[in-house]
Structure 1
Amino acid sequence: MTDDLCDLTARELVTLYGARRASPVDVMKAVLERTERLDPAVNAFCQLADDALDLARASESRWQRGAPLGPLDGIPVSIKDNISIAGLPTRFGSLATTPDIASSDSPCVARLREAGAICFGKTTLPDFAHKIVTDSPLTGVTRNPWDLSRTPGGSSGGAAAAVALGLGPIAIGTDGGGSIRIPAAFTGTFGFKPSFGRVPHAPRGPFGMLSHAGPMTRCVEDAAQTLSVISRPDSRDWYALPFDGADYVRGLSCQPVPRGVRIAYSPTLGLPLTVEPEIHEAVIRATTTFGGLGAYVAASDPPGVAHCNAIHTTLWRACCRQLTDDLSSGRATLDPSLQAYADAGNVISREALLGALIKRGELGAAVNAFFEQYDLVICPVYPGVALPLAGPESNGELFPHFTAWCNQLGLPAASLYVGMSATRVPVSIQIVGGRHADALVLWASHVLELAFGRAPFGELPRTLSAPETRATAV
């Protein structure tokens, strides 16, 4: 089999497995070979598992017996390095951690293993996932495969770059303010942040009230299939929603037709921000597409997004302070931008913190009422396309203006590719649903994917070279 296996979706690979036209061993070898060849330029991975081929052989045997564990059996999946894989260190992208071997899998990894998926490597992130670009003192700079002078976003930047390059068809990222959706938008991949608690996540740590684990893929169906697996219950997460056994792949075709669906569109979410014309046009084009299919569409800003962003600033700084307080040593090795967030958290009073949490609940009620009028919101993921590596983003000064409100309110949200910019980098839009409307957001994403197609990943080069991107781990 050839390197072309790396360009197939998980669904396409499973079809080949069932027809005996390819095996998990073929695919795993192809992914590892492409990773060895292309990853030095983009720096998407910080660790690879030694047992990947052994797991592929076990999966191959199950397929040969006609007894696969499910529709992800034998599919390579990468895992962001703030999620534990038993047998590998979990470094959180930070020199302040030690390379201790994890003794157990995090919930989503455990569910993927039970389904036969091959969790074959850990992807890069900024220091403790604290910012929306991916570079750290531990692993260095991660680059965007569409343009190596640009960032893939963060904090799940390594995951996004890996999927775009075909270094595994599925990645698991985390999102505390936009960390799945912004990298997905910058790389043209599909990123889905589930409702808060939909995917059990443990240990949650200082960012536990904001963080969501979710899939990053090349197509909506693969994300839906992954969500059906990783949303299965795990008692280690006290915040987890009751398990409802939803089949999110089936939901892609079982939701209502667009006629009757109520869509609000908002190019700025009511914020005083300048959105690049290509992003504005993408929002209008996506909305017009739904209108042409019979949906009701109207311009309307969800209430309180600016207030949500202010709350996010308060809570994020407080979380960073708690994180650094919990470190027994090593604060001096942290990214300076993380240290700055923690220092800002030191001046937040208990009254201000409690006030932010109370206001958060009030805004949640107002947004719940908004979603009684509308089923979905279409808006930007970020004001522009993938940013250059050099600039204020390197210092952690950028803010997830259009994404953080979904974390504050626990809303399901997706980043979906809709076209290429004049500079040949992806353009994406965000689809947001009301609380627990995960299936509806995935359905809407699938409708637009059928209309606009997927990113032209085949245009990405098969050979890459870039300046040295890795730092020296200690």
Structure 2
Amino acid sequence: MTASLNLLPAAELVAGFGSGAWDPVDAYEASVAAVRELDRHVNAIVMLDEEAGAQAAKESARRWQSGETLSPVDGVPITIKDIVLTRGWPTLKGSSLVDSSGPWEDDAPATARLRESGAVIFGKNTTPEFGWKGVTDSARHGVTRNPWDPSRTSGGSSGGAAAATALGMGTWSVGTDGGGSVRIPGSFSGVVALKPTYGQVPVWPASAYGTLSHVGPMTRTVQDCALLLDVLARPDARDWSALGAPASSYAGALDGGVAGLHVAFSPDLGYGHNDPAVDAAVRAAVEVLADLGARVSEVDLGLDDPVEAFHVLWFSGAAKVLRGFDPEALTRVEPALAQGIREYGLDASAADYLDATEVRMSLGQRMGELHRTYDVLVTPTMPITAFTAGQAAPDGWPSWLWTSWTPYTYPFNMTQQPALTVPCGFDSDGLPIGLQVVGPRHADALVLRVGQAYEQATGWHTRRPPLLNQV
């Protein structure tokens, strides 16, 4: 029994805590056992603190026994992407530029809220250098691999968080998303991931990528995603741009279904191109929503790809990251990162940045107008499935830039809308495919509700990576 606790959804896990069927120590030990058995296949965990995890689990077990739990998810095991500050542990951000000696005295808002909830934080997940790209590998920590096929990439930049979650190396994880970084690996690794409305989860220190950057939950079910968002979406005075506390629980608003909702379906946003397997799976998912009572309309958005504007915003932020290090930092980071900074970031003027911001504002206006008619927009999360691990792009791809194969994610960082990915099928190689649900700003609850209705009508989220059958 204990060995399977790491794969239970949080709601079932804490029900067992309450009934006495098992306790947080059992759940923690199951998660750590999964790390010991499986991480050698995927390289998702950059730091494991078994002593701290065991102590937190014991304290949670005592609270359950005494009826003094800190929250409804007290005792749930979780890992955190190594971009997010964790008191007492190094946050190395996948870069040799970061001095591991610290001191490491602060928790980021997400970490602080997790501690306050009683969650058992026991490790940190891999990231590419400074979270800059859509795959997860770095000179400091190596290549992170896909839980469904370790010869493939897990995606990125929250690829370690996605792989860990898919394999039960923790019930949940916390990732970051500046251009797709929870949704790309969510799609590639077959997990649920939400980029919330900007400001819904406070961020501190402020990201060099500015208001493109979000912190979001990564889980195996939509309900768990909502439960984790309930924990993370609490105010923190250190983030002046954070939104106020939600008026109600996200987990409590999941069950309204989709009947009567007007859903816009765009297979390509007007400029993308999908693998046939992706196109078929997403169209089938749209039919499920229609069968559930949604009014689905395929729309031609006619958008121009905002990628050039995104590059100015993104690589200007990357250049800002390196200004915190020595003058030779640009020669000491990943060559592709340095190339992107040189091409798009170093010479960008204030006028260039404002021009890119104008593109961003225009895109936001277009999406705002769309949502006057449609409750949500659904698209593929990714136009492809996972490609070879350790590569920047698929074989034969015309561009080395990660944005060239992630056309449906970064636009919604520019517009700050909530965007959820849920598993919606597999290709002929057994690799996951994701469906993206996008809502108007502040409609996180609606996006989760649509994802929940789809998940409950299908069984994709119940499938498990073959690695789990090999241990």
TM-score range, shorter chain: over 0.9
Q: Name the counterpart of 1:185.
A: 187
The 1:156/1:90 distance shift into structure 2, 3 A limit, reads same
The answer on whether the counterparts of 2:259 and 2:292 sit within 8 Å (CA) in structure 1 is yes
Deviations 1:51-103 (A, max 9, x none): 11000000000001122111210001110000011000010111110112420
The 1:322/1:81 distance shift into structure 2, 3 A limit, reads same
Give 3-state SS (helix, strand or coil) of 2:382's partner. Answer: coil
Deviation at 1:457, TM superposition (A): 4.3
Specify which of 322, 325, 337 is matched with residue 323 of structure 2: 325
CA distance in 2, matches of 1:258, 1:408: 27
Residue 54, structure 1, aligned to residue 58, structure 2: no
Residue 295, structure 1, aligned to residue 301, structure 2: no
The 1:310/1:301 distance shift into structure 2, 3 A limit, reads farther
Deviations 1:299-337 (A, max 9, x none): 114464513x23211111211122222223644331111
**Alignment: residue pair count:** 461
The answer on whether the counterparts of 1:303 and 1:370 sit within 8 Å (CA) in structure 2 is no
Give 3-state SS (helix, strand or coil) of 1:427's partner. Answer: strand
The answer on whether the counterparts of 1:164 and 1:457 sit within 8 Å (CA) in structure 2 is no
The answer on whether the counterparts of 2:455 and 2:461 sit within 8 Å (CA) in structure 1 is no
> What is the aligned-residue RMSD (CA, Å)?
1.7
Specify which of 428, 432, 446 is matched with residue 440 of structure 1: 446
Q: Name the counterpart of 1:236.
A: 238
Unpaired runs of at least 5, structure 2? none
Deviation at 1:274, TM superposition (A): 2.4
The answer on whether the counterparts of 1:232 and 1:245 sit within 8 Å (CA) in structure 2 is no
CA distance in 1, matches of 2:412, 2:6: 32
CA distance in 2, matches of 1:48, 1:245: 36
Give 3-state SS (helix, strand or coil) of 1:326's partner. Answer: coil
Q: Equivalent residues in 2 for 1:1-400 (5 A)?
A: 1-49=1-49, 50-99=51-100, 100-253=102-255, 255=256, 257-271=257-271, 273-302=272-301, 304=303, 306-307=305-306, 309-328=307-326, 330-344=329-343, 345-389=345-389, 391-393=391-393, 397-399=401-403, 400=406
Give 3-state SS (helix, strand or coil) of 1:53's partner. Answer: helix
CA distance in 1, matches of 2:362, 2:401: 28
The answer on whether the counterparts of 1:17 and 1:23 sit within 8 Å (CA) in structure 2 is yes
The answer on whether the counterparts of 2:154 and 2:389 sit within 8 Å (CA) in structure 1 is no
Deviation at 1:429, TM superposition (A): 1.0
Moved more, 213-222 or 340-349: 340-349
Q: Name the counterpart of 1:416.
A: 422
Give 3-state SS (helix, strand or coil) of 2:123's partner. Answer: strand
CA distance in 2, matches of 1:358, 1:458: 43
CA distance in 1, matches of 2:330, 2:469: 38
Deviation at 1:244, TM superposition (A): 2.6
Unpaired runs of at least 5, structure 1? 466-474
TM-score normalised by the chain length of structure 2 = 0.94
Deviation at 1:288, TM superposition (A): 1.3
The share of aligned pairs that are identical, in percent, is: 38
TM-score normalised by the chain length of structure 1 = 0.94
The 1:105/1:392 distance shift into structure 2, 3 A limit, reads closer
Q: Name the counterpart of 1:404.
A: 410
